Structure 1
Amino acid sequence: MTKILVAGFKGRMGATATQMVLKNADFELVGVYDPIATEKDLAELPEFAGQHAPVFTELNATLVAEPEIWIDFTIPKAAVANTQFALEHKISPVVGTTGFTAADIKALQTLAEQQKTGGLIAPNFSLSAVLMMQFSKQAAKYFPDVEIIEMHHDNKLDAPSGTAVKTAEMLAEVRGDKPQGNPDEKESIPGARGANYAGMRIHSVRLPGLIAHQQVQFGGIGEGLTIRQDTYDRESFMTGVALACRKVRQASQLYDGLEYLL
Protein backbone atom coordinates (compact mmCIF):
# COMPACT_ATOMS: atom_id res chain seq x y z
CA MET A 1 0.00 0.00 0.00
CA THR A 2 1.07 3.58 -0.64
CA LYS A 3 1.81 5.44 2.60
CA ILE A 4 0.09 8.84 2.64
CA LEU A 5 0.12 11.81 5.01
CA VAL A 6 -2.49 14.60 4.77
CA ALA A 7 -1.60 18.17 5.72
CA GLY A 8 -4.48 20.49 6.53
CA PHE A 9 -6.70 17.62 7.67
CA LYS A 10 -8.99 19.88 9.72
CA GLY A 11 -10.04 22.00 6.75
CA ARG A 12 -12.90 20.99 4.47
CA MET A 13 -10.73 19.85 1.58
CA GLY A 14 -8.16 18.25 3.88
CA ALA A 15 -10.86 16.34 5.74
CA THR A 16 -12.33 15.12 2.45
CA ALA A 17 -8.88 14.02 1.28
CA THR A 18 -8.34 12.17 4.56
CA GLN A 19 -11.63 10.30 4.06
CA MET A 20 -10.59 9.45 0.51
CA VAL A 21 -7.32 7.91 1.68
CA LEU A 22 -9.13 5.85 4.31
CA LYS A 23 -11.62 4.54 1.73
CA ASN A 24 -9.03 3.30 -0.78
CA ALA A 25 -7.67 -0.19 -0.13
CA ASP A 26 -4.35 0.57 -1.85
CA PHE A 27 -3.68 3.61 0.37
CA GLU A 28 -2.49 3.68 3.98
CA LEU A 29 -3.03 6.82 6.06
CA VAL A 30 0.16 7.02 8.13
CA GLY A 31 -0.56 10.40 9.68
CA VAL A 32 -2.12 13.84 9.45
CA TYR A 33 -0.48 17.22 9.98
CA ASP A 34 -1.55 20.61 11.29
CA PRO A 35 0.78 22.86 13.33
CA ILE A 36 -2.07 24.12 15.54
CA ALA A 37 -3.84 20.80 16.10
CA THR A 38 -4.51 19.85 19.71
CA GLU A 39 -5.48 16.23 19.00
CA LYS A 40 -2.97 13.41 19.29
CA ASP A 41 -4.95 10.89 17.25
CA LEU A 42 -7.29 11.35 14.28
CA ALA A 43 -9.99 9.33 16.04
CA GLU A 44 -10.45 12.17 18.54
CA LEU A 45 -12.42 14.03 15.87
CA PRO A 46 -16.09 12.92 15.73
CA GLU A 47 -16.11 12.54 11.94
CA PHE A 48 -13.16 10.12 12.18
CA ALA A 49 -14.33 8.07 15.15
CA GLY A 50 -12.65 4.67 15.09
CA GLN A 51 -10.13 5.74 12.42
CA HIS A 52 -6.74 5.91 14.08
CA ALA A 53 -3.75 7.83 12.73
CA PRO A 54 -1.15 9.96 14.53
CA VAL A 55 -1.56 13.74 14.47
CA PHE A 56 1.66 15.66 13.87
CA THR A 57 2.22 19.33 14.68
CA GLU A 58 5.88 19.60 13.62
CA LEU A 59 7.24 18.95 10.13
CA ASN A 60 10.27 16.93 11.20
CA ALA A 61 8.10 14.69 13.39
CA THR A 62 6.16 13.52 10.31
CA LEU A 63 9.25 11.67 9.07
CA VAL A 64 8.64 9.01 11.73
CA ALA A 65 5.57 7.92 9.75
CA GLU A 66 7.71 7.40 6.60
CA PRO A 67 5.12 8.79 4.16
CA GLU A 68 5.60 8.29 0.43
CA ILE A 69 2.95 10.86 -0.55
CA TRP A 70 2.28 14.26 1.06
CA ILE A 71 -1.23 15.55 0.30
CA ASP A 72 -1.46 19.27 1.03
CA PHE A 73 -4.64 21.34 1.44
CA THR A 74 -3.39 24.11 3.72
CA ILE A 75 -2.69 27.81 2.99
CA PRO A 76 -0.23 29.22 0.42
CA LYS A 77 2.50 30.32 2.85
CA ALA A 78 2.50 26.96 4.63
CA ALA A 79 2.09 24.91 1.46
CA VAL A 80 5.24 26.27 -0.14
CA ALA A 81 7.31 25.31 2.93
CA ASN A 82 5.52 21.96 3.23
CA THR A 83 6.18 21.10 -0.43
CA GLN A 84 9.83 22.04 -0.11
CA PHE A 85 10.11 19.88 3.02
CA ALA A 86 8.49 16.92 1.29
CA LEU A 87 10.76 17.15 -1.75
CA GLU A 88 13.87 17.54 0.40
CA HIS A 89 12.97 14.19 1.99
CA LYS A 90 11.97 12.53 -1.30
CA ILE A 91 8.29 12.48 -0.37
CA SER A 92 6.07 13.07 -3.40
CA PRO A 93 3.81 16.10 -2.87
CA VAL A 94 0.25 16.22 -4.19
CA VAL A 95 -0.75 19.82 -3.59
CA GLY A 96 -4.21 21.32 -3.98
CA THR A 97 -3.44 24.53 -2.11
CA THR A 98 -3.67 27.54 -4.44
CA GLY A 99 -1.78 30.83 -4.33
CA PHE A 100 1.67 29.59 -5.41
CA THR A 101 3.59 32.20 -7.41
CA ALA A 102 5.33 31.35 -10.67
CA ALA A 103 8.65 31.78 -8.85
CA ASP A 104 7.53 29.36 -6.10
CA ILE A 105 6.63 26.69 -8.63
CA LYS A 106 9.84 27.12 -10.63
CA ALA A 107 12.00 26.82 -7.50
CA LEU A 108 10.12 23.72 -6.34
CA GLN A 109 10.37 22.15 -9.81
CA THR A 110 14.12 22.67 -9.75
CA LEU A 111 14.30 21.01 -6.32
CA ALA A 112 12.16 18.07 -7.52
CA GLU A 113 14.47 17.57 -10.48
CA GLN A 114 17.50 17.60 -8.20
CA GLN A 115 15.86 15.10 -5.86
CA LYS A 116 14.49 13.00 -8.74
CA THR A 117 11.14 13.05 -6.96
CA GLY A 118 7.79 13.29 -8.68
CA GLY A 119 4.95 15.47 -7.52
CA LEU A 120 2.02 17.62 -8.56
CA ILE A 121 0.71 21.10 -7.82
CA ALA A 122 -2.81 21.49 -9.23
CA PRO A 123 -5.12 24.50 -8.93
CA ASN A 124 -8.06 22.13 -9.40
CA PHE A 125 -8.37 18.34 -9.07
CA SER A 126 -11.79 18.19 -10.72
CA LEU A 127 -11.65 16.32 -14.02
CA SER A 128 -14.40 18.54 -15.42
CA ALA A 129 -12.37 21.63 -14.49
CA VAL A 130 -9.31 20.27 -16.29
CA LEU A 131 -11.42 19.60 -19.38
CA MET A 132 -12.96 23.08 -19.13
CA MET A 133 -9.48 24.61 -19.23
CA GLN A 134 -8.39 22.42 -22.14
CA PHE A 135 -11.53 23.17 -24.17
CA SER A 136 -11.15 26.89 -23.45
CA LYS A 137 -7.59 26.87 -24.71
CA GLN A 138 -8.78 25.30 -27.95
CA ALA A 139 -11.58 27.86 -28.31
CA ALA A 140 -9.19 30.79 -27.79
CA LYS A 141 -7.60 30.01 -31.17
CA TYR A 142 -10.83 31.14 -32.82
CA PHE A 143 -12.28 33.49 -30.18
CA PRO A 144 -9.45 35.60 -28.68
CA ASP A 145 -11.90 37.99 -26.96
CA VAL A 146 -12.73 36.32 -23.65
CA GLU A 147 -13.57 36.98 -20.03
CA ILE A 148 -13.43 34.62 -17.04
CA ILE A 149 -16.01 34.59 -14.26
CA GLU A 150 -15.09 32.39 -11.30
CA MET A 151 -17.47 31.80 -8.38
CA HIS A 152 -16.56 30.33 -5.01
CA HIS A 153 -17.74 30.10 -1.40
CA ASP A 154 -17.29 33.20 0.73
CA ASN A 155 -14.53 31.68 2.90
CA LYS A 156 -12.07 31.31 0.04
CA LEU A 157 -8.84 33.14 0.84
CA ASP A 158 -7.49 34.00 -2.62
CA ALA A 159 -8.92 35.90 -5.59
CA PRO A 160 -8.82 35.24 -8.43
CA SER A 161 -8.89 31.50 -7.86
CA GLY A 162 -5.93 29.36 -8.86
CA THR A 163 -8.09 27.76 -11.54
CA ALA A 164 -8.94 31.15 -13.06
CA VAL A 165 -5.30 32.19 -13.10
CA LYS A 166 -4.24 28.88 -14.66
CA THR A 167 -7.00 29.24 -17.27
CA ALA A 168 -5.85 32.77 -18.09
CA GLU A 169 -2.27 31.57 -18.47
CA MET A 170 -3.38 28.83 -20.86
CA LEU A 171 -5.48 31.26 -22.89
CA ALA A 172 -2.60 33.73 -23.06
CA GLU A 173 -0.41 31.02 -24.60
CA VAL A 174 -2.83 31.03 -27.55
CA ARG A 175 -4.15 34.59 -27.80
CA GLY A 176 -1.10 36.44 -26.46
CA ASP A 177 -1.41 39.81 -24.74
CA LYS A 178 -4.46 41.23 -26.50
CA PRO A 179 -6.27 44.31 -25.13
CA GLN A 180 -10.00 44.04 -25.62
CA GLY A 181 -13.04 46.20 -25.04
CA ASN A 182 -13.30 49.96 -25.51
CA PRO A 183 -9.94 51.64 -24.81
CA ASP A 184 -11.82 54.79 -23.77
CA GLU A 185 -14.10 53.09 -21.23
CA LYS A 186 -14.19 54.60 -17.75
CA GLU A 187 -15.07 52.71 -14.57
CA SER A 188 -17.56 54.71 -12.53
CA ILE A 189 -16.77 52.31 -9.69
CA PRO A 190 -13.08 51.19 -9.58
CA GLY A 191 -12.71 47.47 -10.23
CA ALA A 192 -16.02 47.12 -12.06
CA ARG A 193 -14.30 45.57 -15.06
CA GLY A 194 -12.43 43.01 -12.98
CA ALA A 195 -8.75 42.10 -12.92
CA ASN A 196 -6.75 42.48 -16.12
CA TYR A 197 -4.58 39.56 -17.22
CA ALA A 198 -2.94 39.92 -20.63
CA GLY A 199 -5.86 42.06 -21.78
CA MET A 200 -8.62 39.66 -20.69
CA ARG A 201 -10.75 40.28 -17.61
CA ILE A 202 -11.22 37.99 -14.61
CA HIS A 203 -14.18 38.46 -12.26
CA SER A 204 -14.34 36.83 -8.82
CA VAL A 205 -17.66 36.11 -7.09
CA ARG A 206 -17.74 35.09 -3.41
CA LEU A 207 -21.09 33.96 -1.98
CA PRO A 208 -22.31 31.47 0.63
CA GLY A 209 -23.81 28.35 -0.91
CA LEU A 210 -21.27 28.15 -3.72
CA ILE A 211 -18.40 25.65 -3.83
CA ALA A 212 -16.39 26.10 -7.05
CA HIS A 213 -17.67 27.25 -10.43
CA GLN A 214 -16.09 28.87 -13.47
CA GLN A 215 -17.43 30.31 -16.71
CA VAL A 216 -15.18 31.18 -19.65
CA GLN A 217 -17.12 33.46 -21.97
CA PHE A 218 -15.96 34.08 -25.54
CA GLY A 219 -17.34 36.71 -27.90
CA GLY A 220 -17.13 37.00 -31.68
CA ILE A 221 -18.91 38.98 -34.37
CA GLY A 222 -22.54 37.95 -34.14
CA GLU A 223 -21.89 34.92 -31.92
CA GLY A 224 -20.60 33.78 -28.58
CA LEU A 225 -19.43 30.66 -26.78
CA THR A 226 -19.64 29.88 -23.07
CA ILE A 227 -17.76 27.01 -21.43
CA ARG A 228 -18.81 26.44 -17.81
CA GLN A 229 -17.80 24.03 -15.07
CA ASP A 230 -19.64 23.49 -11.77
CA THR A 231 -18.55 21.66 -8.64
CA TYR A 232 -21.45 20.70 -6.37
CA ASP A 233 -19.56 18.50 -3.89
CA ARG A 234 -15.93 18.50 -2.77
CA GLU A 235 -15.95 14.74 -3.22
CA SER A 236 -15.58 15.42 -6.96
CA PHE A 237 -12.00 16.58 -6.41
CA MET A 238 -10.99 13.26 -4.90
CA THR A 239 -10.94 11.35 -8.20
CA GLY A 240 -8.11 13.60 -9.32
CA VAL A 241 -6.32 13.49 -5.97
CA ALA A 242 -6.40 9.68 -5.93
CA LEU A 243 -5.20 9.58 -9.54
CA ALA A 244 -2.27 11.84 -8.66
CA CYS A 245 -1.35 9.74 -5.62
CA ARG A 246 -1.16 6.65 -7.82
CA LYS A 247 0.96 8.29 -10.54
CA VAL A 248 3.41 10.77 -9.00
CA ARG A 249 5.70 8.12 -7.54
CA GLN A 250 6.46 6.99 -11.09
CA ALA A 251 7.59 10.51 -12.08
CA SER A 252 10.82 12.38 -11.41
CA GLN A 253 9.52 15.91 -11.82
CA LEU A 254 7.00 18.28 -10.25
CA TYR A 255 4.05 18.87 -12.57
CA ASP A 256 2.01 22.08 -12.57
CA GLY A 257 -1.50 20.92 -13.47
CA LEU A 258 -3.45 17.66 -13.36
CA GLU A 259 -3.64 17.55 -17.17
CA TYR A 260 -0.05 16.28 -17.28
CA LEU A 261 -1.11 13.07 -15.51
CA LEU A 262 -4.25 12.39 -17.52
Structure 2
Amino acid sequence: MSTQRIRVAVTGASGRMGKEVVKMVLQDEALELVAAVNASSTGMDAGLLAGAGESGVLTRQSLEEALAHANADVLVDFTVPQAAYSNTRTAIEYGVRPVIGTTGFTPEQIVELDELCKQKGIGGLIAPNFSIGAILMMKFAADASKYLPNVEIIEYHGDQKLDAPSGTSIKTAELISEARRELRQGNPKEEEVIEGARGGYYNGFRIHSVRLPGVFAQQEVIFGGDGQTLKIRHDSYDRAGYMPGVNTAVKKVMTYSGLIYGFEHIME
Protein backbone atom coordinates (compact mmCIF):
# COMPACT_ATOMS: atom_id res chain seq x y z
CA MET A 1 0.00 0.00 0.00
CA SER A 2 1.59 3.30 -1.11
CA THR A 3 1.88 6.35 1.11
CA GLN A 4 0.25 9.53 -0.15
CA ARG A 5 2.78 12.01 -1.43
CA ILE A 6 3.25 15.43 0.18
CA ARG A 7 2.01 18.16 -2.15
CA VAL A 8 4.48 21.04 -2.34
CA ALA A 9 4.18 24.62 -3.58
CA VAL A 10 7.28 26.75 -4.22
CA THR A 11 7.50 30.54 -4.32
CA GLY A 12 10.26 32.31 -6.24
CA ALA A 13 10.44 29.23 -8.45
CA SER A 14 12.85 30.76 -10.97
CA GLY A 15 15.14 32.20 -8.30
CA ARG A 16 18.43 30.56 -7.43
CA MET A 17 17.12 28.84 -4.30
CA GLY A 18 13.69 28.26 -5.83
CA LYS A 19 15.17 26.26 -8.69
CA GLU A 20 17.05 24.02 -6.26
CA VAL A 21 13.84 23.42 -4.28
CA VAL A 22 11.92 22.53 -7.45
CA LYS A 23 14.64 20.05 -8.47
CA MET A 24 14.70 18.50 -5.00
CA VAL A 25 10.91 18.04 -4.97
CA LEU A 26 10.86 16.49 -8.45
CA GLN A 27 13.61 14.04 -7.52
CA ASP A 28 11.88 12.71 -4.39
CA GLU A 29 9.12 10.16 -4.95
CA ALA A 30 7.61 11.04 -1.55
CA LEU A 31 6.96 14.61 -2.73
CA GLU A 32 4.81 16.08 -5.50
CA LEU A 33 5.24 19.54 -7.01
CA VAL A 34 1.75 21.01 -7.34
CA ALA A 35 2.33 24.77 -7.60
CA ALA A 36 5.06 27.25 -8.45
CA VAL A 37 4.94 31.02 -8.11
CA ASN A 38 7.11 33.46 -10.01
CA ALA A 39 5.85 36.84 -11.16
CA SER A 40 8.56 37.38 -13.80
CA SER A 41 8.05 34.09 -15.64
CA THR A 42 4.33 33.36 -15.43
CA GLY A 43 3.03 30.44 -17.47
CA MET A 44 6.37 28.65 -17.83
CA ASP A 45 7.02 25.07 -16.78
CA ALA A 46 8.66 25.11 -13.33
CA GLY A 47 10.69 21.99 -14.03
CA LEU A 48 12.12 23.41 -17.24
CA LEU A 49 12.96 26.66 -15.47
CA ALA A 50 14.90 24.67 -12.90
CA GLY A 51 16.71 22.61 -15.52
CA ALA A 52 15.05 19.44 -14.22
CA GLY A 53 12.88 18.54 -17.21
CA GLU A 54 9.21 19.10 -17.85
CA SER A 55 7.08 18.93 -14.69
CA GLY A 56 3.63 19.85 -15.97
CA VAL A 57 3.39 22.60 -13.33
CA LEU A 58 3.20 26.11 -14.76
CA THR A 59 4.29 29.13 -12.76
CA ARG A 60 1.57 31.49 -11.58
CA GLN A 61 1.58 35.22 -10.96
CA SER A 62 0.55 35.25 -7.29
CA LEU A 63 0.66 32.94 -4.31
CA GLU A 64 -3.08 33.33 -3.72
CA GLU A 65 -3.81 32.17 -7.26
CA ALA A 66 -1.47 29.20 -6.93
CA LEU A 67 -2.81 27.99 -3.57
CA ALA A 68 -6.43 28.45 -4.63
CA HIS A 69 -5.93 25.85 -7.37
CA ALA A 70 -3.26 23.51 -5.97
CA ASN A 71 -4.55 21.93 -2.73
CA ALA A 72 -0.96 22.06 -1.45
CA ASP A 73 0.21 20.60 1.87
CA VAL A 74 3.42 22.63 2.22
CA LEU A 75 4.73 25.94 0.90
CA VAL A 76 8.50 26.41 0.58
CA ASP A 77 9.53 30.08 0.47
CA PHE A 78 13.04 31.41 -0.23
CA THR A 79 12.03 34.82 -1.54
CA VAL A 80 12.86 38.21 0.02
CA PRO A 81 12.25 39.61 3.53
CA GLN A 82 9.70 42.11 2.22
CA ALA A 83 7.45 39.31 0.96
CA ALA A 84 8.07 36.49 3.44
CA TYR A 85 5.68 37.60 6.19
CA SER A 86 2.80 38.13 3.76
CA ASN A 87 3.51 34.82 2.02
CA THR A 88 3.57 32.98 5.34
CA ARG A 89 0.24 34.47 6.43
CA THR A 90 -1.32 33.62 3.07
CA ALA A 91 -0.15 30.01 3.28
CA ILE A 92 -1.54 29.59 6.79
CA GLU A 93 -4.88 31.11 5.76
CA TYR A 94 -5.13 28.40 3.08
CA GLY A 95 -4.20 25.71 5.60
CA VAL A 96 -0.83 25.18 3.93
CA ARG A 97 2.19 24.51 6.14
CA PRO A 98 4.92 27.15 5.60
CA VAL A 99 8.59 26.19 5.39
CA ILE A 100 10.37 29.52 5.23
CA GLY A 101 14.07 30.07 4.52
CA THR A 102 13.73 33.84 4.26
CA THR A 103 14.93 36.02 7.14
CA GLY A 104 13.66 39.32 8.52
CA PHE A 105 10.79 38.22 10.81
CA THR A 106 10.36 40.11 14.08
CA PRO A 107 9.79 38.20 17.34
CA GLU A 108 6.25 39.58 17.42
CA GLN A 109 5.53 38.28 13.92
CA ILE A 110 6.83 34.83 14.85
CA VAL A 111 4.54 34.69 17.90
CA GLU A 112 1.59 35.83 15.79
CA LEU A 113 2.25 33.26 13.05
CA ASP A 114 2.67 30.52 15.65
CA GLU A 115 -0.80 31.29 17.01
CA LEU A 116 -2.29 31.28 13.52
CA CYS A 117 -0.73 27.88 12.79
CA LYS A 118 -2.12 26.45 16.02
CA GLN A 119 -5.58 27.81 15.20
CA LYS A 120 -5.41 25.99 11.86
CA GLY A 121 -3.94 22.85 13.43
CA ILE A 122 -0.91 22.91 11.13
CA GLY A 123 2.86 23.03 11.57
CA GLY A 124 5.25 25.63 10.24
CA LEU A 125 8.97 26.35 10.22
CA ILE A 126 11.09 29.48 9.84
CA ALA A 127 14.77 28.63 9.55
CA PRO A 128 17.59 31.12 8.90
CA ASN A 129 19.69 28.21 7.63
CA PHE A 130 18.86 24.72 6.38
CA SER A 131 22.44 23.48 6.13
CA ILE A 132 23.09 20.58 8.50
CA GLY A 133 26.71 21.72 8.92
CA ALA A 134 25.65 25.28 9.75
CA ILE A 135 23.20 24.04 12.38
CA LEU A 136 25.95 21.95 13.98
CA MET A 137 28.22 25.02 13.92
CA MET A 138 25.55 26.96 15.86
CA LYS A 139 25.10 24.16 18.38
CA PHE A 140 28.84 23.79 18.96
CA ALA A 141 29.23 27.56 19.33
CA ALA A 142 26.48 27.77 21.94
CA ASP A 143 28.09 24.95 23.90
CA ALA A 144 31.56 26.51 23.68
CA SER A 145 30.27 29.86 24.96
CA LYS A 146 29.55 28.28 28.35
CA TYR A 147 33.29 27.81 28.83
CA LEU A 148 34.76 30.60 26.68
CA PRO A 149 32.28 33.50 27.03
CA ASN A 150 34.38 36.05 25.09
CA VAL A 151 33.21 35.66 21.51
CA GLU A 152 32.79 37.45 18.18
CA ILE A 153 31.09 36.35 14.95
CA ILE A 154 32.31 37.06 11.43
CA GLU A 155 29.97 36.16 8.56
CA TYR A 156 30.80 36.37 4.87
CA HIS A 157 28.34 36.62 1.97
CA GLY A 158 28.20 37.89 -1.58
CA ASP A 159 27.96 41.62 -2.20
CA GLN A 160 24.33 41.40 -3.40
CA LYS A 161 22.93 40.05 -0.12
CA LEU A 162 20.13 42.33 1.07
CA ASP A 163 20.39 42.02 4.86
CA ALA A 164 23.19 42.40 7.37
CA PRO A 165 23.96 40.70 9.60
CA SER A 166 22.80 37.40 8.14
CA GLY A 167 19.94 35.43 9.62
CA THR A 168 22.38 32.63 10.42
CA SER A 169 24.62 34.92 12.48
CA ILE A 170 21.63 36.34 14.35
CA LYS A 171 20.38 32.84 15.15
CA THR A 172 23.89 31.87 16.29
CA ALA A 173 24.00 34.95 18.52
CA GLU A 174 20.61 34.08 20.00
CA LEU A 175 21.73 30.54 20.84
CA ILE A 176 24.96 31.83 22.41
CA SER A 177 22.98 34.34 24.46
CA GLU A 178 20.75 31.57 25.77
CA ALA A 179 23.81 29.63 26.91
CA ARG A 180 25.78 32.42 28.59
CA ARG A 181 25.09 35.62 30.47
CA GLU A 182 25.62 39.00 28.82
CA LEU A 183 29.29 39.94 29.03
CA ARG A 184 30.54 43.29 27.80
CA GLN A 185 33.84 42.50 26.15
CA GLY A 186 36.89 44.60 25.39
CA ASN A 187 38.23 47.77 26.94
CA PRO A 188 35.47 49.80 28.61
CA LYS A 189 37.17 52.97 27.34
CA GLU A 190 37.28 51.71 23.74
CA GLU A 191 36.38 54.27 21.07
CA GLU A 192 35.64 53.66 17.39
CA VAL A 193 37.77 55.93 15.24
CA ILE A 194 35.61 54.89 12.27
CA GLU A 195 31.93 54.32 13.06
CA GLY A 196 30.99 50.66 12.85
CA ALA A 197 34.55 49.39 12.91
CA ARG A 198 33.78 47.09 15.85
CA GLY A 199 30.73 45.58 14.17
CA GLY A 200 27.16 45.28 15.37
CA TYR A 201 26.54 44.91 19.11
CA TYR A 202 24.55 41.92 20.38
CA ASN A 203 24.26 40.90 24.04
CA GLY A 204 27.80 42.01 24.88
CA PHE A 205 29.62 40.76 21.77
CA ARG A 206 30.03 41.80 18.15
CA ILE A 207 28.87 40.53 14.78
CA HIS A 208 30.86 41.52 11.69
CA SER A 209 29.38 41.27 8.18
CA VAL A 210 31.67 40.93 5.16
CA ARG A 211 30.12 41.49 1.72
CA LEU A 212 32.28 40.71 -1.32
CA PRO A 213 31.79 39.38 -4.86
CA GLY A 214 32.95 35.81 -5.25
CA VAL A 215 31.86 34.83 -1.74
CA PHE A 216 28.95 32.42 -1.23
CA ALA A 217 28.27 31.87 2.51
CA GLN A 218 30.69 31.35 5.36
CA GLN A 219 30.63 32.03 9.08
CA GLU A 220 33.16 31.69 11.86
CA VAL A 221 32.62 32.06 15.57
CA ILE A 222 35.81 33.05 17.38
CA PHE A 223 36.27 32.49 21.11
CA GLY A 224 39.09 33.98 23.16
CA GLY A 225 40.48 32.91 26.53
CA ASP A 226 43.69 33.26 28.46
CA GLY A 227 46.46 32.14 26.11
CA GLN A 228 44.11 30.51 23.58
CA THR A 229 41.51 30.98 20.88
CA LEU A 230 38.92 28.63 19.43
CA LYS A 231 37.42 29.06 15.96
CA ILE A 232 34.30 27.21 14.79
CA ARG A 233 33.75 27.75 11.07
CA HIS A 234 31.28 26.58 8.46
CA ASP A 235 31.60 27.10 4.71
CA SER A 236 28.82 26.68 2.14
CA TYR A 237 29.85 26.42 -1.50
CA ASP A 238 26.61 25.63 -3.30
CA ARG A 239 22.86 26.03 -2.75
CA ALA A 240 22.38 22.31 -3.22
CA GLY A 241 23.89 21.89 0.25
CA TYR A 242 20.70 23.28 1.79
CA MET A 243 18.37 20.81 0.10
CA PRO A 244 18.71 17.81 2.47
CA GLY A 245 17.59 20.12 5.26
CA VAL A 246 14.69 21.51 3.22
CA ASN A 247 13.63 17.98 2.35
CA THR A 248 13.63 16.99 6.02
CA ALA A 249 11.68 20.14 6.94
CA VAL A 250 8.95 19.51 4.34
CA LYS A 251 8.36 16.05 5.79
CA LYS A 252 8.65 16.97 9.49
CA VAL A 253 6.31 19.97 9.22
CA MET A 254 3.49 17.54 8.43
CA THR A 255 3.80 15.98 11.89
CA TYR A 256 3.28 18.84 14.34
CA SER A 257 1.16 21.91 15.12
CA GLY A 258 2.52 25.44 15.62
CA LEU A 259 5.36 27.44 14.14
CA ILE A 260 8.95 26.49 14.99
CA TYR A 261 11.79 29.00 14.66
CA GLY A 262 15.10 27.31 13.90
CA PHE A 263 15.91 24.11 12.03
CA GLU A 264 17.85 22.77 15.01
CA HIS A 265 14.55 22.05 16.77
CA ILE A 266 13.53 19.44 14.21
CA MET A 267 16.90 17.73 13.79
CA GLU A 268 16.92 14.16 15.05
Class of the TM-score when normalised by the shorter of the 2 chains? over 0.9
Residue number among 194, 210, 230 corresponding to 1:205 in the alignment: 210
The answer to whether structure 1 residue 10 and structure 2 residue 14 are counterparts is yes
Q: Letter of the aligned partner of 1:259 in structure 2?
A: E
Q: 1:29-48 to 2 correspondence within 5 Å?
A: 29-42=33-46, 45=49, 47-48=51-52
Could you tell me how far 1:48 is from its partner in structure 2?
A: 4.6
Could you tell me how far 1:43 is from its partner in structure 2?
A: 5.3
Could you tell me how far 1:39 is from its partner in structure 2?
A: 3.4
Q: Letter of the aligned partner of 1:11 in structure 2?
A: G
Number of residue pairs aligned between Structure 1 and Structure 2: 262
Q: Which residue of 2 aligns with 1:80?
A: 85
TM superposition score normalised by structure 2: 0.94
Q: Which residue of 2 aligns with 1:170?
A: 175
Q: Distance in 1 between matches of 2:47 and 2:203?
A: 48
Assess, with a 3 A threshold, how the Cα gap between structure 1 residues 105 and 46 changes in structure 2: closer, same or farther.
closer
Q: Which residue of 2 aligns with 1:251?
A: 256
The answer to whether structure 1 residue 228 and structure 2 residue 228 are counterparts is no
Could you tell me how far 1:106 is from its partner in structure 2?
A: 1.3
Assess, with a 3 A threshold, how the Cα gap between structure 1 residues 46 and 130 changes in structure 2: closer, same or farther.
closer
Q: Distance in 1 between matches of 2:200 and 2:77?
A: 28
Q: Distance in 2 between matches of 1:236 and 1:45?
A: 20
TM superposition score normalised by structure 1: 0.96
* 1:70 alignment partner, SS class: strand
The answer to whether structure 1 residue 61 and structure 2 residue 41 are counterparts is no
* 1:10 alignment partner, SS class: coil
The percent identity for this pair of structures is: 47
Deviation by residue 1:112-152 (Cα, 9 ceiling, x = unmatched):
11111101100000000000000111001011110000011
Q: Distance in 1 between matches of 2:73 and 2:112?
A: 21
The answer to whether structure 1 residue 50 and structure 2 residue 54 are counterparts is yes
* 1:168 alignment partner, SS class: helix
Residue number among 182, 188, 195 corresponding to 1:190 in the alignment: 195
Residue number among 87, 104, 107 corresponding to 1:102 in the alignment: 107
* 1:98 alignment partner, SS class: coil
Q: Letter of the aligned partner of 1:213 in structure 2?
A: Q
Q: Distance in 1 between matches of 2:50 and 2:177?
A: 46
The answer to whether structure 1 residue 134 and structure 2 residue 139 are counterparts is yes
Runs of 4+ deviating beyond 4 Å: none
Q: Distance in 1 between matches of 2:19 and 2:50?
A: 12
Q: Is the 8 A contact 2:11 2:18 kept in 1?
A: yes
| Larger displacement relative to structure 2 (168-177 or 66-75) | 168-177
Assess, with a 3 A threshold, how the Cα gap between structure 1 residues 160 and 59 changes in structure 2: closer, same or farther.
same
Q: Is the 8 A contact 2:158 2:216 kept in 1?
A: yes
Q: Is the 8 A contact 2:14 2:49 kept in 1?
A: no
Ranges in structure 2 where 5+ consecutive residues have no aligned partner? none
| Larger displacement relative to structure 2 (40-49 or 190-199) | 40-49
The answer to whether structure 1 residue 23 and structure 2 residue 27 are counterparts is yes
